[in-house]
Amino acid sequence: MDDFASQFKLIDKKSVKSFLELQDTPCYESVLLKKAFPEIRISNISPLILYQKHFLLFHLLYLLQNEYYKKGRYLFVHFMRTFLSEYPKPGLCRFYNEHSGRFCQAACISGFDYCDFHKKQTKEHTLEELSDKYFYLDKKNFYNLNEDTAEDFFNGTWEIMNHYKDYEKSIKILEITGTPDLASVKKKFRHLAKKYHPDTGSLSHEKFNEINGAYRLLTRLLIN
């Protein structure tokens, strides 16, 4: 059994689910970490171990998100505002306000999930959520950091693959011509994410992970 599988097996999954199902307000990741790993002392562990615990928790949360979706419930995953809520009834807007933890619920035109006001706002926001989700569902990312880069991760930077070779490879994966900027990277990601949406099949799933990795690397490098 590899390190990811052995550590994931140790998560107190029942405790996490029970806690989520009892909450009436969004919760912080630090609270969920203590539910998932009762023995954890966040202030006393290395950045690398903390990253691994963080990754394991978010991997579980996104698996639970899929599980709850089948039951008509939405699990919003965020390091400050994770929250489980009921989806609105058909015909009511499904735009989720992450700050309030509530759906819009305004009336929609028949056949649409969003009201006129929120239709345009959902496109890029939904792709950003999809990017995060498939980052944490891709187990390879559990092994991407070392002690130094884990500390950078928690300092708000992203230095997983900060070599020029990886930069060039990511540009090629996203099919960008010329010097990339944030706008061109996001535009290409939106286009390719729709084309290779993970739900279209196993090959698309693998391609999306490749696209997602390139997108995340370039956006972090360009922001920093």
* In the chain, where the domains are located: 3-160
List, for residues 78-128, the tens digit of each pLDDT value.
888 899 999 999 999 999 988 788 999 999 988 889 998 888 767 666 777
Residue type, 216: R
Q: Say what the pLDDT of residue 167 is.
A: 81
**What pLDDT is recorded for position 161?**
39
Q: pTM (2 decimals)?
A: 0.77
Helix (H) or strand (E) holding 206: helix 202-223
The DSSP result for 147-203, as a single string, is HHHHHHHHTT---TT-SHHHHHHHHHHTT--SS--HHHHHHHHHHHHHHT-GGG-HH
Would you say residue 153 has pLDDT above 80?
A: no
Q: Pick from 97, 84, 102, 76: which is nearest to 20 by CA?
A: 84
Rounded distance, CA 38 to CA 29, Å? 13
Helix, strand, coil shares of the chain, percent, nearest 5, are: 60, 5, 35
